[in-house]
Amino acid sequence: MSYYREISQFLSYLKHEKNASPHTITSYKRDLTQLDEYLEEKKVKLRDIDNIVLRAFLATLYEKKDKKSTIARKLAAIRSFFQFCMRKGWLEDNPAKVVATPRLESHVPSFLSEKEMARFLDLPKSDKPLDLRNKAMLELLYATGIRVSELVGINIEDVNFAELLIRVKGKGKKERLTPFGRKAQESLRSYLQARPLIHKSHIEEKVLFLNCRGKRISPRSVERMVDKYIRSSALRRKISPHSLRHSFASHLLSRGADLRVIQELLGHESLATTQKYTHLDLRRLMEVYRKSHPRS
């Protein structure tokens, strides 16, 4: 009664056709395995799965005190899996499409103020090759708003110093060009001069950001690097590499950038995803209002 074969095919599809990240694949595998165990226990065949069965499964998650965000993620994985089953002809309809997603509390993404960001980017100070690399990675994350997964995937040939543009490979293998500024350019040039010294015997020639073994750096290593500098700073709140992306969008927006331009720079498919950055403080809102409204 287990759907191990179907789930394995779905995960393979995510990896090879959708170019999903290893983190996404691991999460989906865990979520679908949990559903599979439930269906096997209830002896429910694939074609007999309906919204009532799925609601009963979600009820077990509520009983286990799972967070609403966790349940929403699992439901998203289930929806995607059943959509795949429809494409394969195993199901005629997606039983998860009528199951309501738990209402989540909206939250403002964590971000740094412009002054905090300036101090944070100034933390890597030495001329050691790895510190120059760290400085370049931090500057580039903030200058472009790219994801960590996109940062580590950059090759040297993707960087156009003449035009100050970087070719980025985003989700679903979609490519986009994103600009970067003079500060990031300076940091990148300093790092590239020191890059051959990172490893004495061998380095991956095409890769931009290397680890201490001369190979492509991993997203996890970037997260640890950012965490190291957060601990050495005066910041006393949870900040992640993604916070630099949030800060990039927030600072552009507060300085008057169009939301659709920010959407393109971030690589968001939907404008609704970008709108979470519209959390300008009241002082800024009042300032813009008083300058712009004819009867203010």
**Can you give the three-state secondary structure of the chain, one letter per residue?**
CCCHHHHHHHHHHHHHCCCCCHHHHHHHHHHHHHHHHHHHHHCCCHHHCCHHHHHHHHHHHHHCCCCHHHHHHHHHHHHHHHHHHHHHCCCCCCCCCCCCCCCCCCCCCCCCCHHHHHHHHCCCCCCCHHHHHHHHHHHHHHHHCCCHHHHHCCEHHHEECCCCEEEEECHHHCEEEEECCHHHHHHHHHHHHHHHHCCCCCCCCCECCECCCCCECCHHHHHHHHHHHHHHCCCCCCCCHHHHHHHHHHHHHHCCCCHHHHHHHHCCCCHHHHHHHCCCCHHHHHHHHHHHCCCC
Annotated catalytic residue within 79, 183, 242, 279: 242
49: closest CA among 101, 102, 100, 1?
A: 1
Catalytic residue among 74, 133, 246, 268: 268
Query: Which one is catalytic: 147, 169, 195, 246?
Result: 147
Catalytic residue from among 74, 133, 245, 246: 245
To the query of whether residue 277 is one of the catalytic residues in this protein, the response is yes
Put residue 211 in one of left, alpha, beta given phi > 0 → left and psi -120 to 50 → alpha: beta
Residue 109, classified by CB atoms within 10 Å of its CB into exposed (0-12), middle (13-18) or buried (19+), is middle
Residue 242 is a catalytic residue? yes
- Among residues 119, 171, 199, 215, the one annotated as catalytic is 171
| Catalytic (active site) residue 245 | yes
Q: Is 171 a catalytic residue?
A: yes
Q: Is 268 one of the catalytic residues?
A: yes
- The verdict on whether 176 is a catalytic residue reads no
Active site residues: 147, 171, 242, 245, 268, 277
